[in-house]
Amino acid sequence: MTSTRVLRVRIKDRHAAWLSSLAREVNLVWNYCNELQGRVFERERRFLSGFDFWPYLKGSTRGECALQLPVQAVQETAEQYARSRAQHRKIRLAWRASGGARRSLGWIPFKVRTIKYAHGQVYFAGRWLSVWDSWGLGGYELRAGSFSEDARGRWYLNVSVQVKLPQREPPEAVSAIGVDLGLKDLAALSDGRKIENTRFYRDLEPALGVAQRAGKKRRVKAIHAKIANRRRDYLHKLTTTLVRAHGVVCVGDVNASALARGPHAKSVLDAGWSAMRTMLRYKCDDAAAWFVEVPESGTTRICSACGADAGPQGLRGLAVREWTCAVCGAGHDRDVNAARNILVRGLAILAQQFSAAGEAKAGEAAVNEAGGHQVGAHSAGAGHGPLAEGISVTYGGDDVKPGCRCR
Ligand SMILES: [Zn+2]
């Protein structure tokens, strides 16, 4: 099994000016496509595909006033334009501005086989670019991707690669953990640990306030970037340890975009949930661990010790951080309790998937036998093992599963 991954590496700042000049050319191509699409629609009421733009763009990379961009980047810009326009269901899109207050952040897309890597540098459009190669790009086959600029003017290479995934162990043989993503705490774990969200910026808050009141925009941006970097750095370390220690990781399916419209909007956008979930998903893949997304509804109200629906209810219940179950008397931290419920649900989902897969395989085997085919090593040794047995899905203090290291 393989999976596609996007690797992001920082490009050294001495190339920033040159990349920005290429980004202006991308904007030129984009705006040309936008203009052309507008005219074609006025005249013929039809939309152009990415491929339809190619003849119009022919020759743009040759001759006296040629673009510096390689032709694959010009074509990819047109294709991305067409895709984006179709996605937004518009006749035209916004212009990409190369200057002024509404300048678009630099962006240069490219197709597969446009860049190459050697000796720690990336070759693009006739130049070798130095990068901070945090991924060891030499170990991958580089495919399509883009160069992009962040709000501070730093450039990054985002390139997709194929990675090979190892075979997973059956989930009953490994330990499991539940993760509840929250607002006050970024995450609570079923083993009782919590990660406070404010830890990433508490010490920077005074500086941020000063910079905001003084109207220092660059400083404000830099502080926000610092907070985001700290959070990302911490999330990488946390998710790596989680995936190393546990073979099953269950995460709530909390929907940030829905919550972002509500009264908690600011903290939701800030929380880094999707970053954490994405990291857990791909790190689980790499480490051959199971990643399970679990419907969260009700996980804060149900007692993880006895299963009674006895927790704090409704909006007012949101403020309750700690409660005692009226049925069994167990004391709970709100978020840790939710994480335990997520773990139990996640294991139940895995168990269900496994028994479904087991039935399908049994059916397949029966068909094969009836058809006179040999049931070969391929289907017998597919690595799913005894299904669902040993996964305890009862609500209970300590019997989540045998061999569990999660408490
Ligand atoms: Zn209880």
Task: Give one DSSP letter per residue of 83-138, joined into a string.
Answer: HHHHHHT-SS-----SSSTTPPPPEEEE-TTS-EEETTEEEETTEEEEEE-SS-GG
Ligand 1 centroid to Cα of residue 29, in Å, is 63
User: What is the CB-side half-sphere exposure of residue 167 using CA atoms within 13 A?
Assistant: 7
Ligand 1 centroid to Cα of residue 309, in Å, is 8
Q: Residue ranges of the chain with pLDDT lower than 50?
A: 371-407
Q: What is the pLDDT of residue 363?
A: 66
What is the number of residues in the chain?
A: 407
d(CA 387, CA 390): 9
Ligand 1 centroid to Cα of residue 317, in Å, is 17
Ligand 1 centroid to Cα of residue 248, in Å, is 25
Ligand 1 centroid to Cα of residue 24, in Å, is 62
Place of tokens 């990291």: 279
Ligand 1 centroid to Cα of residue 331, in Å, is 8
Q: What is the pLDDT of residue 394?
A: 36
pTM over 0.75: no
Q: What is the pLDDT of residue 242?
A: 92
Ligand 1 centroid to Cα of residue 311, in Å, is 9
Ligand 1 centroid to Cα of residue 332, in Å, is 9
Ligand 1 centroid to Cα of residue 318, in Å, is 19
CA angle in degrees (0–180, nearest 5) for 348-353-358: 125
Ligand 1 centroid to Cα of residue 145, in Å, is 51
Please check whether residue 28 is in contact with residue 153, taking contact to mean a CB–CB distance below 8 angstroms.
no
Structure tokens of 152?
């501070």
Distances (CA, A) of 276 to 131, 254, 266, 284, 339: 25, 12, 18, 12, 15
Q: What is the pLDDT of residue 270?
A: 56
Ligand 1 centroid to Cα of residue 175, in Å, is 24
d(CA 273, CA 249): 15
Ligand 1 centroid to Cα of residue 287, in Å, is 35
179 strand-pairing partners: 189, 251
Ligand 1 centroid to Cα of residue 185, in Å, is 23
Q: What is the pLDDT of residue 258?
A: 60
Q: What is the pLDDT of residue 381?
A: 34
Look at residues 204, 230, 250 and name the one whose alpha carbon lies nearest to residue 404.
Answer: 250
Ligand 1 centroid to Cα of residue 300, in Å, is 12
Please check whether residue 186 is in contact with residue 28, taking contact to mean a CB–CB distance below 8 angstroms.
no
Ligand 1 centroid to Cα of residue 344, in Å, is 15
